[in-house]
Structure 1
């Protein structure tokens, strides 16, 4: 059943029936999770306005049933959406709200690690390296205690050392230090081990762009070539944008290897943004 159809069915049932509080709450929880999923996919492939609307729907529904973990799921996605939409003040406010909800709901270290990563995302995009370092330090502290988590919600299970390495690399890239970012991205890519095609392609594309900025042209092109090998299996506007950004830089270098990979990007992503 498509997400939109499922949403309509749940909304229809809730609007026309009276349930015991437990059943109604469970249905609202499913609806909140559905909106959070829609928000993430909207963040990944747009449109960003619909993604933000879905995140707010998820948050509102979770607040109405008093489910702290679902509120946090919505908030952490909202942070990413706000950053992409250049709404940094709202993103920072969402992080602050998330810390408050985490304290009130007794969230474990893994969930708090997710919040710290989002805090680092906001600080990095704001150009505040000091705040980004502070958030990453907090993330490392939470990571060291994740083995005490009894039950980690499914939406937070991605968080771990790989994400911290990626966020650290992001900080160095934003600070104009691509060479310092490269080792962290290498570790992150190696840590994924190719198990998740989407994440592996996303991380490799970041490594490729960073290597290119650092002057390691041949290795950068080799990394991007590995992304192109799996591109047709992945539907992600974010990845397409990054590939074309790589192509724009590579074309200007005008070497045999950069021209080859640029032509291949143009061919495989013909339907993407120029």
Structure 2
């Protein structure tokens, strides 16, 4: 019989960054991957970690434990009968073909399989908290100052995360969270590409974000990327890609058991696609779904950061967009006014964008004075916001009003030039 000491298993688990509950969950996943009929409860894990000697695992449990830790069972602190011993031997060794094998020295595996041995700084849970705070702060920067300063901050954070993943020491749990943050950053860059009119860059960032989100197995993170991809695909005149992104977002949201807020975002993107291609019946259906979800968002217990911008004002804005596409601008105006009135004060960029849209609609309807009055109000809230998409909307209005030969129109054009 071979033994190594009482709490070795607990030490290995803690070094890997698992709580007892998390380890039991990881054990189940590993058993599924191995196709092994093995189970483990928290109660049994506690017995293994507390009793001396710990009860011997069943052979199927031994298979999973050795796969998870990369060391033989006896090095986890169990008394193992000779016939259950696992040894390190080449796979091609004819003397050892019936024995479980390990590809390296067990002692080395115990150190390296759980914690990175890179020479860089060690990244712990506290460091993750600081990075998470800065990452979440990008939303506020984008909403209040625009995508240009947000992109500058995002690049700094991305460099720190990629540097940590490449050179720092961390547990597998910390590494997974770092990769999740990197996927989120790619998603941010995709949005900045859309807002900045760099559509090809945005789509490339979407592909990176989707791949990274798949690697960390986060369906909701994939949904967040797909909703941005819809907007990018529309701008790239790839309606089929936008429609496919919507369908995949619905599928992933259902798989993740997402709440009404996430489904509201997807419904709005479905309305964007239908409006773009002129499918007004499809747009109305999508907006009806959006209204239904909006009425039930209070039932959501948790809403992802990327979905917290949405609200009834987005539904009104999308409805106005549908009427503009249907060449009924006067019917769009009440919905735009409602959107401007209801949008939160912390969403400054969107608020300014809505007001510029509200100014443009009466201009299309031939109501130049009303349009110029709305633009004057919009310009008052645009100061300090660095958003190429918002700037493009203002310049589009500027070009349209320049052909109108009235004192009000000329004064509005002068005010836009001064502000921009």
Structure 2 length-normalised TM: 0.61
Partner of 1:178: 329
Partner of 1:7: 158
Report whether the alignment pairs 1:70 with 2:231.
no
Deviates more, 1:72-81 or 1:244-253: 244-253
CA distance in 1, matches of 2:347, 2:163: 36
Partner of 2:257: 106
**Secondary structure at the counterpart of residue 310 of structure 2:** coil
Partner of 1:26: 177
Larger helix proportion of the pair = 1
CA distance in 1, matches of 2:405, 2:197: 32
Q: Which is greater in Rg?
A: 2
CA offsets per residue over residues 77-111 of structure 1, 9 Å max, x none? 11111112222111111111100101111111100
| TM-fit CA distance, 1:60 | 1.1
Residue pairs, 1:177-196, within 5 angstroms? 177-192=328-343, 194-196=345-347
**1:126–1:100 Cα change, 3 Å:** same
CA distance in 1, matches of 2:237, 2:362: 26
Partner of 1:215: 366
CA distance in 1, matches of 2:196, 2:221: 22
| TM-fit CA distance, 1:54 | 1.5
Which residue of 269, 274, 277 corresponds with 1:126?
Answer: 277
Deviates more, 1:191-200 or 1:12-21: 12-21
Report whether the alignment pairs 1:224 with 2:375.
yes
**Secondary structure at the counterpart of residue 237 of structure 2:** coil
**1:193–1:22 Cα change, 3 Å:** closer
Deviates more, 1:166-175 or 1:151-160: 151-160
CA distance in 1, matches of 2:381, 2:334: 23
**Secondary structure at the counterpart of residue 232 of structure 1:** coil
Residue pairs, 1:227-266, within 5 angstroms? 227-266=378-417
CA offsets per residue over residues 96-141 of structure 1, 9 Å max, x none? 1100101111111100100000010011111110111111011111
CA distance in 2, matches of 1:232, 1:134: 37
Partner of 2:139: none
CA offsets per residue over residues 169-191 of structure 1, 9 Å max, x none? 00000111100000000000011
CA distance in 2, matches of 1:63, 1:254: 56
CA offsets per residue over residues 5-53 of structure 1, 9 Å max, x none? 3223322332346754322211111111111112112211232221221
Deviates more, 1:74-83 or 1:258-267: 258-267
| TM-fit CA distance, 1:263 | 2.2
Partner of 2:301: 150
Partner of 2:236: 85
CA distance in 2, matches of 1:162, 1:220: 20
CA distance in 2, matches of 1:140, 1:231: 29
Q: Please list every run of 5 or more consecutive structure 1 residues that lacks an aligned counterpart in the other structure.
A: 270-274
CA distance in 2, matches of 1:193, 1:50: 30
**Secondary structure at the counterpart of residue 12 of structure 1:** helix
Q: CA RMSD in A?
A: 1.7
**Secondary structure at the counterpart of residue 382 of structure 2:** helix
